[in-house]
Amino acid sequence: MAAGMPRGTRGILLGMAAVLAMALGAPFLSEYLLESLAQALIWGIAAMSLDLLLGYAGLPSLGHATYMGVSAYAAAVVMTRFHGGFFGALGVAVLLSAVVAALFGLLALRAKGHYFLLITMALAMVVWGLAYRWVSLTNGDNGIVDIPRPQLGAAWSLGPILHFYYFTLLCFLIALALMLFFVRSPFGLTLVGIRESESRMRALGYNTWLHKYLAFIVAGVFSGVSGVLWATYNGFVSPMDVDVFGSLEALLMVALGGPGTLVGACIGSAVLVVLKNVVSIYFQRWMTIMGIIFILTVYYAPDGILGYFRRPSARPETM
Amino acid sequence: MLRRVLVLGLVLGVSCALLIPMAGAAAKPIKIGFIAPLTGPAAANAKDMVDALHMAIEDVGGKVAGRPLQVIVEDDATKPAQGLAKARKLVTEDGIQILSGVMLGSVNGAVAPYVNEKKIPFLTMAASPSDITFKKDTAYMLRPISSGIQVMHPFGEWAYKNLGVKRVVLMGLDYSFGYENLQAFHRTFEEAGGKVIQQIWTPVNALDFAPYLAQVNKDADAICALYWGSFSLRFTKQFEEAGLKGKMKVLGGPTFTDEHVLRDMGDEALDIITANSWSAALDTPAAKKFVQEYRKRRGLVPSFYSEMVYSAMRWLFEGIRAVNGNVEDSEKFLAAIKRTKITNAPRGPIALDAYSNAIHNIYVRKVERVGGELQNTVIATIPNVSQFWTYNPDQFIAEPSYSRDYPPCKNCQ
């Protein structure tokens, strides 16, 4: 029965079941688990936005924490120094990450492949350096603290983790829906074509540079959203939120989960967050475990976890 | 039949005998959470802290005021976000009543507001930022160790008055710990009559100090350096290699020749003069006993990181005794700890000032080789130093915090 259903429908049903479980089951989960889930959702948005570049457009970017960090700092400054509300901060922050992505995209897209990777990393280090040194704006390595949790309306404060979790889940679903729409649109399909063979797409008359550039900015915008959520979740921002490690983690999440699937990035995000928050409680060598998982993935599931389950040999023969 | 009755009686008797102490031991444990950078560049310092923590618990037989102590150690991986996540876990999952640890200033900044909100007394081991004890929203945060500036204020004045050095170059790590320590020295050194003629800040990821050492102004009588861990090791070696060792005195901040690096240093460290609230060569009975015990159990000389945790725990236990173990009433408990004073910690006396920062002795030390081993021989003691030194607290708080450019380097050439 399940084998006879088209793959897309089964995926949608699974997805809906997961969302329902996450929404209805939340009040019964422990606070710590909710905290971890909220983190997984926030990083899920960031990882998905990276997947747009890595998985769909074929652009491996090591600069992703940049946009998350820029928007996190922008939101932090707006909320602490100018006492702006959450949505005002969100607007400013996302706009700023779009602008930065637009600027950096112009520089980075002059290169391809490994050099693209290097340039995105270099630009990330520039932003990290600014976060460290522009002390009057960013407070240097002590970071900006006391970022308030938003009050949505009179009754709903996002202070308690359950409320914040629901809000994050909502943002996540909206981001997921928008990104799914984006990748299934003609624009998205063109990106996949560019990933497969840019020269052929150009021969067909597509402006491949413009497609890549716009994808870069869109990815930056969604990253910006996750950055604002990250800043309000933690209540602080520090230069460590902008460093190369963050970008690397996002990249690992996408690679682990399965590039080019969006949902794979979410799975990767969940795995990494669980490793950091839950496994690290029981094992001091949790980073070794993380390394082993990655080695096994590279060897046995080079298309990531989701890629592994979707591989052609896994599908039952229908004949 | 008789045998059965006897055996039954014996079993019942033994069970009763076993049950009685169990009824007494049903006292709920006091749970202490401890967050440390167990992975990352400060892992060795974190290990010293955790070892000392366990030793402090063992030394009181695992209980205080009749309640067993349970310690839960978590890794913050040198990241503020992770430190906060672990703090959340300790509070919500483990139900800790007291939090301690946290070596890094950035992690402290992330964790302090959270535990304040949850009303958990927090004994922080973060020396910087110095001004975090001034803020109102960290009422539950106590710092039973020196703040970054606390050690260097008296040292600057002492160095001018006692070492005959008049022109000093400052060189240190380019981040807040470096700024706070060196700028505190800068201020009191110049107020005493000296001149700071140059400031060199080395980036945190600089692996080679040679280009910076080449810039050092040779007119200086002394250099005052702020480094820790492998930075200290590299700096002292390269300072000697650059031929600067004989030309000027070498002074340093508290971590510069601390025992956690002194173990791995050689003759290049001889005659370096630093200040800290501890030295493993401190010649008091309490200190000697601590060093002897620590050496026996851990095989190493206790560093500043070991001692800070050990003393802080001893001091905490006094506070717990003062409320007869009732740590659940956190407001009363907090008030009791703030009033607690001890006089025989390894480092000497410990009390808190009105802003919940420690008041204790500062020792000026010189590296010497004694019995074939390098040690920080104590050459002067400056007693009962607070984080404000001789300045008026309200005035001090109103002034800007020490940073890269404050106080400004008026005599820099």
- Closest chain A residue by Cα to residue B114: A235
Comparing CB atoms, the residue among B89, B106, B114 nearest residue A240 is B106
| Average pLDDT score, chain A | 87
How far apart CA B77 and CA B80 sit, in angstroms, is 8
CB contact under 8 Å between A240 and B92, yes or no, is no
Range with lowest mean pLDDT among A199-208, B125-134, B305-314: B125-134
* CA gap A116, A122 in Å, rounded: 10
Phi-psi region of B353 (alpha: psi -120 to 50; beta: other; left: phi over 0): beta
Look at B270 and A316; give whichever has higher pLDDT: B270
Whole-prediction pTM value?
0.81
Minimum-distance CB partner of B80 among A31, A238, A276: A238
Q: Spell out the CATH class of A33-148+155-314.
A: mainly alpha
Q: How many Cβ atoms sit within 10 Å of the Cβ of residue B6?
A: 10
Judge contact between A128 and A244, C-beta under 8 A. Answer: yes
Do residue B137 and residue A146 have CB atoms under 8 angstroms apart?
Answer: yes
CATH 3.40.50.2300 domain range(s) in chain B = 28-126+283-346, 148-282+361-398
Confidence band for A63, pLDDT divided at 50, 70 and 90: confident
Q: pLDDT-based confidence at A265, cuts 50/70/90?
A: very high
ipTM attached to this prediction: 0.74
Residues with Cβ within 8 Å of residue A207, at least 6 apart in sequence: none
Q: How far apart, in whole angstroms, are the C-alpha atoms of residue B366 and residue B280?
A: 12
pLDDT band for B207, please (50, 70, 90 cuts): confident
Is B38 in Cβ contact with A35 (below 8 Å)?
no
Rounded Cα–Cα distance for residues B99 and B34 (Å): 6
Q: Is B237 within 8 Å of B165 (Cβ atoms)?
A: no
Q: Which of A296, A276, A272, A297 is nearest to A286 (CA)?
A: A276
Residues 39-68 of A with CB under 8 A from B: 39
A141 in contact with B, Cβ within 8 Å? yes
Q: Which chain A residues are closer than 8 Å to B203 by Cβ?
A: none
Distance of residue B208 Cα from the nearest chain A Cα, in angstroms? 19
Q: Confirm or reject CATH 1.20.1420.30 for domain B148-282+361-398, answering yes or no.
A: no
What is the reported pLDDT for B23? 41
Place domain B28-126+283-346 in its CATH homologous superfamily: Response regulator (3.40.50.2300)
Residues of B with CB under 8 A from a CB of A: 38-39, 74-75, 77-82, 84-85, 88-89, 92-93, 105-106, 109-110, 113-114, 129, 137, 175-176, 403-404
Chain A residues inside the 8 Å CB shell of B109: 142-143, 145, 236, 238
Q: Is B64:B317 a contact under the CB 8 Å cutoff? A: yes
pLDDT tens, B268-325? 999 999 999 999 999 999 999 999 999 999 889 999 999 999 999 999 999 999 999 8
